[in-house]
Amino acid sequence: MNYSSAFIPTLREVPADAVIASHRLMFRSGLLRKLANGLFAYLPLGLRSFRKVEQIVREEMNATGALEIKPSVVVPGELWKESGRWDSMGESLLRLKNRLNNDFVVSPTAEEAFTAIVRDELSSYRQLPLALYQINTKFRDEIRPRYGVMRGREFTMKDAYSWHTDDKSLDGTYQAMGRAYRRIFKRCGLSVIPVRADSGAMGGSGSEEFMVESEVGDNTLLLCKSCEYAANVEKASCTPDFQVRPSIETARAAAANTPACKKIETPNVKTINDLCAFLKTEPKAFIKTLVYRAVNVELDLSSAPGCSKLERKKISADAPSVYSEAFFAVAIRGDLDVNEVKLAAVLKASEVSLAPDTDVVRLTGAPVGFAGPVGLSFLPIIIDHTVTGMEDAVTGALEKDLHYEHAAYGRDFEAWMIEDVRTVKAGDRCPLCGGELYTKMGNELGHIFKLGYKYTRSMNVTYLDENGKTQMPVMGCYGIGVDRTLASVIEEHHDEAGIIWPASVAPYHVIIIPIKYNNEVKTAADNLAAELTKAGIEVLLDDRNERPGVKFNDADLTGIPWRVVIGDKGLAQPNPQVEIKRRSEKENLMIDTDKAAALLAQKIREELAALNS
């Protein structure tokens, strides 16, 4: 391809709203343009790389035995009503009506559409397991799209779904997908961090997220300096740095020598820091108690303190019944934070947030800042594991300006539940090896998880087993963001001059720059391009009538892995020579013109082989 015919509008300026490297470079190197906030157009160079990522994903999906299908992008709202997500998805779901006033959705994911297709065709266990996927347009009505295609409104996702007769079969496909994902990212030249993640609103358990490090990542990851442990902060745990009391009896025994729990006056003390200053101690010595409001709680609260009047309600025909609202006290060591995602998982609640002050006052009988587990009888108390190890703590006394000292778990108060709800942070110890944990910000490129029966139950999917009995298949679900993957390659492979493409996703393998595209130089450039093309190497020939500096800058910016410079001087040597330079390296090399094609083809095949191995 000649550069002048390739429509590569490179830019010197950086778009004002581009704060991350991939966003800046996709615009500057002419890969992408914006149509509106969060809506983009891939230009020819960008689309070439995009298609290569797509093809890598497709090959690895096919290798797992998954079959590609292509449902429509706009799907009937009825299907989303069946699954319950029409109501539960919130405003990021782009809902629309057509001229006949029918409801539709511009798909953000396709559990419903795929399940509807399979439901109609599935009759026998012999058809299972079945894994289907698509690589298709998706839409999420982001309120604040940013970072280019890293968080756009419209994007392309590979989403796969699988159906199984049992958990073992599901696990087999789940593991195969995990291996395929590792291969996909490796082939794209990406370093990903596979992390155990909370599966959040998607339902089900058993999930793995594939993250890349990113300064603007949505996720805080906890990684171990000594082992492979990696977890999303929403699910991370750590080795306790305290004595965990495995039972209430051991906790009571530990408190044997603790002085009796008694109230102390703490006038004008409102925060833990105030209290530390006032009592001359440190946050670790306190039991912090927070009141949370939870919405749509599935957990059984029939025996929970203060909950006897709550009633379970059905919010949709097929979903389990829930308590629409419930309040909980959560006690945790004073130096730690409660992780609301972990808490929500414990409560099986759709949402958890700090209770409004008025509720806190109503439920604890005290102003905000004086809650504590001792004597608290109107709320279920959830204590974090850390509290089980506290046999002599300070905590709120449920009265203004009063705290307890010498409070001990097991002796002075008990828990309704003991759970791990702490937010793990850098410096905590790895739960696997005890090594030191550190944090990274990460962006999710892919996510695989075991969905369970959420959709097959709500959409009533069944098959007949070997005994002719009606059964419900169990599902898995596996997504990769194609645009995000592409942008992440640029995040990982660039320098101040531009992109440095891995050969597997480079729009072209070689850029040939004739110093002046005429006479012998033109002939040599054309011949080399033809020879490389014949060898299956993708060549961009910079035929423009521009200064060499402009061409060199564009070559660096667009990041083509190999650059060949052809000029009069080199060709005038006894053995005519051209200059070869790898984008990722500083050195260049003069090589005999007639050996250039073979060397380049060999180098590129080596890199591709290494990436694809």
What does the binding site for a second copy look like in residue numbers (CB under 8 A)? Answer: 5-7, 9, 33, 35-36, 39-44, 47, 50, 65, 67-76, 78-79, 91-92, 94, 96, 98-100, 102, 106, 113, 116-117, 120-121, 130, 132, 137, 139, 141, 143, 153-154
In 3-state terms, what secondary structure has residue 595? helix
Calpha distance 330→339 (Å, rounded) = 11
Q: How far are the Cα atoms of 200, 222, 233, 341 from residue 195, in angstroms, in the given order? A: 14, 9, 10, 16
Is residue 472 within 8 A of residue 119, CB to CB? The reply is no
Nearest distance from residue 192's CB to a second copy, in Å? 25
**Using CA atoms, how far apart are residues 574 and 588, in angstroms rounded to an integer?**
20
Nearest distance from residue 538's CB to a second copy, in Å?
13
CB atoms within 10 A of CB 408: 24
Q: Which amino acid is at 132?
A: L
Taking residue 103's Cβ as centre, other Cβ atoms within 10 Å add up to 15
Instruction: Give me 240's structure tokens.
Output: 């306790």
Instruction: Tell me if 415 sits within 8 A of 381, measured CB to CB.
Output: yes
Instruction: Give the three-class secondary structure for 44.
Output: helix
Residue 108: Cβ-neighbour burial (10 angstroms; 0-12, 13-18, 19+): middle
Nearer to a second copy, 105 or 347 (CB): 105
Which CB sits closer to a second copy, 62 or 588? 62
CA distance 29 to 7: 11
**In terms of CB distance, is 89 or 601 closer to a second copy?**
89
How many angstroms separate the CA atoms of 27 and 19, rounded?
12
For a second copy, the closer of residues 76 and 435 by Cβ is 76
Question: For residues 112 and 444, which CB has a smaller minimum distance to a second copy in the complex?
Answer: 112
Q: Which two tokens stand for residue 217?
A: 């990542």
Q: How far is the CB of 604 from a second copy (least distance, A)?
A: 22
Please report how close the Cβ of residue 114 comes to a second copy at its closest, in angstroms: 9
Q: Rg (Cα) of the chain, in Å, rounded?
A: 30
Residue 96 Cβ, how far from a second copy at the closest point, in Å? 4
> For a second copy, which is the closer residue by CB, 44 or 200?
44
User: Which is nearer to a second copy, 54 or 340 (by Cβ)?
Assistant: 54
C-beta of residue 440 within 8 angstroms of C-beta of residue 221: yes
Chain position carrying tokens 């996702």: 157
Q: Considering beta carbons, is residue 39 or 244 the nearer one to a second copy?
A: 39
Read off φ and ψ for residue 436, nearest 5 degrees.
-80, 135
Query: Is the CB of 81 or the CB of 582 nearer to a second copy?
Result: 81
Q: Which is nearer to a second copy, 92 or 353 (CB)?
A: 92
Q: Which amino acid is it at 266?
A: T
**Structure tokens belonging to residue 113:** 């559409």
Q: Which is nearer to a second copy, 40 or 286 (CB)?
A: 40
Closest CA to 399 of 374, 427, 422: 374
User: Which residue in the block uniquely carries the two structure tokens 């001229």?
Assistant: 99
Contact by Cβ (8 Å): 193, 442: yes
Task: Provide the minimum distance between the beta carbon of 77 and a second copy in the complex, in angstroms, as a whole number.
Answer: 9
Cα(108)–Cα(92) distance, rounded to whole angstroms?
9
Query: In angstroms, what is the minimal distance from the CB of 79 to a second copy?
Result: 8
CA distance 83 to 87: 9
Compute the least distance from the CB of residue 566 to a second copy, in Å: 23
Q: How far is the CB of 97 from a second copy (least distance, A)?
A: 8
Output the smallest distance, CB 336 to a second copy, in A: 36
Q: How far is the CB of 48 from a second copy (least distance, A)?
A: 9
Alpha helices in 1-41 (DSSP H): 21-28
